[in-house]
Chains A and B, each alone.
Chain A
């Protein structure tokens, strides 16, 4: 698989091509979209983007972990983690596009 990495720049370039706003404003809009999603998640909301996927926040209970190298026990405090569940459309397109 020849793997490239896209960044915010590539997303704003796509917005720039698609809508014809300035590059600067396109970049700001990409940022606003990511910020809005992040803020909703920080408030504990689930973010459900149809035909893309669902971001949800889950609470993890405290547990005792272990340093795998030293075997030492370390307490892991309760925390919130983000999980992303891809939509069927995303799964299908990723599977189809990468079929060898």
Chain B
């Protein structure tokens, strides 16, 4: 499933809404999650999962092609942990 198919599905389920509003709704949700993580916040969606930011320490890396060492700065990366309910559903166990 891709973004446009998700939008189409929500539009089909909500025939009273304009397609462009459904697009804005779906985009707002994803945008809001990214904005939160860009501020260093967590987004916890019970049953689905939680988006958070993890810190990666600075390290000395190596260019695998040339073997040259490079200093890699500390950075923050997005992380997702699957919620318990979804994990169970993936394995055929409902509530």
Q: How many residues of A contact B (CB 8 A)?
A: 55
- A90/B91 contact (C-beta < 8 A), A8-B46, A49-B6 known: no
Chain B stretch 9-27: residues in CB contact (< 8 A) with chain A? 9-10, 13-14, 17, 21, 24-26
| A29 and B53 alpha carbons, distance in the complex (Å) | 26
* A5–B77 CB distance below 8 A: no
| A51 and B29 alpha carbons, distance in the complex (Å) | 13
* A47–B38 CB distance below 8 A: no
Residue B45 interfacial (CB < 8 Å):
yes
| A52 and B90 alpha carbons, distance in the complex (Å) | 22
Closest Cβ of chain B to A100, distance in Å, is 7
Residue B59 interfacial (CB < 8 Å):
no
| A33 and B29 alpha carbons, distance in the complex (Å) | 9
* A94–B78 CB distance below 8 A: yes
**B41 nearest in chain A by CB position:** A4
* B86–A95 CB distance below 8 A: no
Residue B62 interfacial (CB < 8 Å):
no
* A33–B10 CB distance below 8 A: yes
Closest Cβ of chain B to A36, distance in Å, is 5
**Known pairs A52-B34, A82-B82 / 20 extra A-B pairs, C-beta < 8 Å:** A4-B39, A4-B41, A7-B43, A10-B32, A14-B28, A15-B28, A32-B13, A33-B25, A37-B48, A47-B6, A48-B1, A49-B2, A50-B2, A52-B30, A53-B80, A84-B49, A84-B80, A89-B34, A98-B76, A99-B75
Q: Which 10 A-B pairs have the closest CB atoms?
A: A97-B38, A84-B80, A98-B76, A86-B78, A40-B1, A1-B40, A82-B82, A14-B32, A80-B90, A4-B41
